[in-house]
Chains A and B, each alone.
Chain A
Amino acid sequence: MSQFSQVVLSGLATGSIYALVAIGFTLVWQAAQTVNFAQGEFVMLPAFFVLAGMSLFGLSFGTALLFGLAVSVVVLGLLFKKLVAEPILPHGGITLIIATMALGILLKESVKEFYSAEAQPFPSIFPNDPIDVFGAVLSMQDILNLAFSLAVVVALTLFLNRTRTGRCMQATAQNPAVAEILGVNVKRMILYTFLINAALAALASFLITPVYLAKFSNGETLGLIAFIAAIVGGFNQIRGALAGGLLIGVLDNLTAAYVTAEYRAALPLVLLIVIILVRPQGLLGTKEGRAV
Chain B
Amino acid sequence: MSMPVLSVRNIEKSFGGIRAVNGVSFDVHKGEILGLIGPNGSGKSTLFNCILGQLPPDGGDVSVNGRNVSGMRASDLNRLGVGRTFQQLSVFPKMSVLDNIILAGQEHHGSMLSRLFGPGDAGLTAEAEKLIAFFRLSHLRDTLAGSLSYGQQKLVDAAMAFMAGPSLVLLDEPAGGVNLTMLAGLKERLTAYNAEHGTTFVVIEHNMEFVMSLCTRIIVLSEGSIIAEGTPDEIRANQAVIDAYLGG
- A259 touches B (CB below 8 Å): no
Instruction: Tell me which of A163, A178, A183 contacts B107 (CB under 8 A).
Output: A183
In the complex, are the beta carbons of B90 and A178 less than 8 A apart? yes
- A152 touches B (CB below 8 Å): no
- B94 touches A (CB below 8 Å): yes
In the complex, are the beta carbons of A180 and B74 less than 8 A apart? yes
In the complex, are the beta carbons of A184 and B107 less than 8 A apart? yes
In the complex, are the beta carbons of B95 and A182 less than 8 A apart? no
In the complex, are the beta carbons of B120 and A178 less than 8 A apart? no
Shortest distance from the beta carbon of A267 to any chain B beta carbon, whole Å: 31
Residues of B within 8 A of A184 (CB): 75, 103, 107
- Cβ proximity bits B91-119 to A, threshold 8 Å, 1 near / 0 not: 11111000100111011100000011010
- A162 CA / B122 CA spacing, docked (Å): 10
- A175 CA / B90 CA spacing, docked (Å): 7
- Cβ proximity bits A151-192 to B, threshold 8 Å, 1 near / 0 not: 000000000011111111011001100111111100000000
In the complex, are the beta carbons of B75 and A171 less than 8 A apart? no
- B84 touches A (CB below 8 Å): yes
In the complex, are the beta carbons of A163 and B75 less than 8 A apart? no
Instruction: Tell me which of A163, A180, A182 contacts B120 (CB under 8 A).
Output: A163
Interface of A is mostly: helix
In the complex, are the beta carbons of A164 and B120 less than 8 A apart? yes
- Cβ proximity bits B76-94 to A, threshold 8 Å, 1 near / 0 not: 0011000010100011111
Number of interface residues of A (CB under 8 A): 19
- A207 CA / B118 CA spacing, docked (Å): 32
In the complex, are the beta carbons of B90 and A165 less than 8 A apart? no
Known pairs A163-B120, A164-B122, A167-B106; A180 contacts B75 (CB<8 A): yes
- A179 CA / B120 CA spacing, docked (Å): 17
Instruction: Tell me which of B79, B99, B116 contacts A183 (CB under 8 A).
Output: B79
- A163 CA / B122 CA spacing, docked (Å): 9
In the complex, are the beta carbons of B75 and A167 less than 8 A apart? no
- A174 CA / B84 CA spacing, docked (Å): 18
In the complex, are the beta carbons of A167 and B103 less than 8 A apart? yes
Number of interface residues of B (CB under 8 A): 25
Residues of B within 8 A of A179 (CB): 92, 103
In the complex, are the beta carbons of A165 and B116 less than 8 A apart? yes
In the complex, are the beta carbons of A174 and B95 less than 8 A apart? yes
Residues of A within 8 A of B92 (CB): 170-171, 174-175, 178-179
In the complex, are the beta carbons of B116 and A182 less than 8 A apart? no
- Cβ proximity bits B173-215 to A, threshold 8 Å, 1 near / 0 not: 0000000000000000000000000000000000000000000
> Which among A165, A166, A175, A181 has the greatest number of chain B C-beta atoms within 10 A?
A181
Known pairs A162-B120, A170-B95, A174-B92; A182 contacts B102 (CB<8 A): no
In the complex, are the beta carbons of A164 and B95 less than 8 A apart? no
Residues of B within 8 A of A168 (CB): 103, 106-107
Known pairs A181-B78, A181-B84, A182-B78; A167 contacts B120 (CB<8 A): yes
In the complex, are the beta carbons of A171 and B103 less than 8 A apart? yes
Shortest distance from the beta carbon of B242 to any chain A beta carbon, whole Å: 36
Residues of A within 8 A of B95 (CB): 167, 170-171, 174
Shortest distance from the beta carbon of B172 to any chain A beta carbon, whole Å: 12
Residues of B within 8 A of A167 (CB): 95, 99, 102-103, 106, 120
Known pairs A164-B122, A181-B78, A183-B78; A174 contacts B106 (CB<8 A): no
- A168 CA / B75 CA spacing, docked (Å): 14
- A175 CA / B95 CA spacing, docked (Å): 11
In the complex, are the beta carbons of B115 and A182 less than 8 A apart? no
Return 12 A-B CB contacts under 8 Å, by A number.
A163-B120, A164-B106, A164-B120, A166-B120, A167-B95, A167-B120, A168-B107, A170-B92, A178-B86, A181-B78, A182-B75, A183-B75
Other A-B pairs beyond A164-B118, A167-B120, A183-B107, 13, CB < 8 Å: A162-B120, A164-B106, A165-B115, A167-B103, A167-B106, A168-B106, A175-B91, A178-B90, A179-B92, A180-B74, A181-B75, A182-B160, A184-B103
Please report A residues at the B interface, Cβ cutoff 8 Å: 161-168, 170-171, 174-175, 178-184
Please report B residues at the A interface, Cβ cutoff 8 Å: 74-75, 78-79, 84, 86, 90-95, 99, 102-104, 106-108, 115-116, 118, 120, 122, 160
